[in-house]
Amino acid sequence: MAPELSSNWKILQARLKAGSASKPASSSSASASPSAPANNKKRKSASDDQDSKPKNKRTRTSSFPKKQPTNTTSATSSTEKMGAVSSQPVTSTAPLTNQPSIQFLRQNHGISQESLSEAYNLTISPTLLSSLPSHPNQGLSPTASLDRTKYLAIDCEMVGFGPGGVDSSLARVSITDFHGTQIYDSYVLQREKVTDWRTAVSGIAPKHMRDARPFSEVQAEVAELLKGRIVVGHDVKHDLKCLDLDHPMKMIRDTAKFSGFKKYGNGPKPALKALAKEILGLEIQTGQHSSIEDARVAMLLFRKHKPAFDMEHANRYPEDVKTKQKPNKAGKGKKSKRK
């Protein structure tokens, strides 16, 4: 006789029978919806793909959903703009330079403007001479800076007096600095009766005498300006003679006597007009002369050939070079005594 089944086993058999009875119903429902197996296959394939991917235990999945840009076009354009700005080269209107301020060096370190110009190769362009301002009969320029000025250029205009106007009398004097800046300009009252104004050349007319300064005043002002400075000019002795002034020859740089310019003259000395054209490519004195323009051209000629001028001066006045070296030796001697 077979042993009697327990109550639990009876319950399990009843559940199994009930499950086998429900299988035909599920199969009939499956035949009624043919798309169900396809969906199951898609889900199965998706699950299989996920199972086939290698699992990395160290990777962490963020609980926050990824934020998708609402406007793809704007996002792309903003990215391009940011990249374009960061990749563009930096441009500046002022070039980077280590050159110190010329004004700072001149004022705070006692360096002359001429030495600074030579050190930094600051030259005057011949084409810019005409753009420099001129103020006829201004007298001493209110903006003139002469604290450490070493070189001054001078030029004068004369009128004629005496029989036939052969003798010359000072009618205008102009002085510029190393950079061509006007320092002084004045018309001069005549002490003699003018017999030839020479207007076609000198540019001086009787009307200019209305505001002209007395000769003694002009002479004193010019003498003070030239004192202790190197005078540059063309045939300077004639300018000094009409001013009735003396100046040490070793303190004069004359473009009419410079040996390097003799080849440009047909006679013993070249004309300033010829030098300006041949060396600087400038046309001057085409009509009435301008003493300011002539002074600037003389200074420009000197600056263009300054090393040769200095060499010729050293050969002509060797004692002047020795004199400049003496204070340094004396200074060293004093320091050694103090030690």
**pLDDT tens readout for residues 41-57:** 445 444 455 555 545 54
Total count of domains within the chain: 1
Model pLDDT for residues 248-257, shown as the tens digit of each residue: 999 999 999 9
- Give residue 94's pLDDT: 43
Residue 206 lies in a domain: yes
Average of per-residue pLDDT across 52-77: 49
Residue 58 lies in a domain: no
Model pLDDT for residues 171-225, shown as the tens digit of each residue: 999 999 999 999 999 999 999 999 999 999 999 999 999 999 999 999 999 999 9
Q: Is the pLDDT of residue 72 over 50?
A: no
Residue 223 lies in a domain: yes
Q: How far is CA 110 from CA 174, 193, 226, 310, in A?
A: 27, 48, 20, 22
Cβ partners under 8 Å of residue 287, min gap 6: 200
SS (H, E, C) 179-237: CCCEEEEEEECCCCCEEECCHHHHCCCHHHHCCCECHHHHHHHHHHHHCCCEEEECCHH
- Give residue 227's pLDDT: 96
- Give residue 318's pLDDT: 87
Q: What is the mean pLDDT of the chain?
A: 76
- Give residue 339's pLDDT: 39
- Give residue 319's pLDDT: 75
Residue 284: pLDDT band with limits 50, 70, 90: very high
Q: How many residues are present in the chain?
A: 339
Residue 4: pLDDT band with limits 50, 70, 90: low
CATH number at residue 306: 3.30.420.10
- Give residue 122's pLDDT: 54
Residue 164 lies in a domain: yes
Q: How large a percentage of the chain has pLDDT more than 90?
A: 50
Residue 58 DSSP code = T
CB–CB of 244/267 below 8 Å? no
Residue 92 lies in a domain: no
Q: What is the spatial distance between Cα 295 and Cα 185, in angstroms, rounded to a whole number? A: 11
Residue 55 lies in a domain: no
Model pLDDT for residues 316-339, shown as the tens digit of each residue: 998 766 555 555 444 444 444 443
Highest-confidence range of 101-110, 130-139, 243-252, 329-338, by mean pLDDT?
243-252
Q: What is the spatial distance between Cα 157 and Cα 174, in angstroms, rounded to a whole number? A: 9
Residue 239 lies in a domain: yes
- Give residue 18's pLDDT: 75
Q: Is the pLDDT of residue 232 over 70?
A: yes
- Give residue 99's pLDDT: 43
Amino acid at 165: G
Q: How far is CA 280 from CA 78, 125, 289, 329, in A?
A: 57, 9, 18, 41
Write phi, then psi, for 168 (nearest 5 degrees): -105, 140
Residue 29, judged by CB atoms within 10 A of its CB (0-12, 13-18, 19+), counts as exposed
Q: Is the pLDDT of residue 87 over 90?
A: no
Residue 197 lies in a domain: yes
Q: Is the pLDDT of residue 63 over 90?
A: no
Q: Is the pLDDT of residue 161 over 90?
A: yes
Q: Is 149 helix (H, G, I), strand (E, B) or coil?
A: coil
- Give residue 267's pLDDT: 81
Closest CA to 253 of 265, 236, 271: 236
- The range of the structural domain enclosing residue 240 comes to 129-316
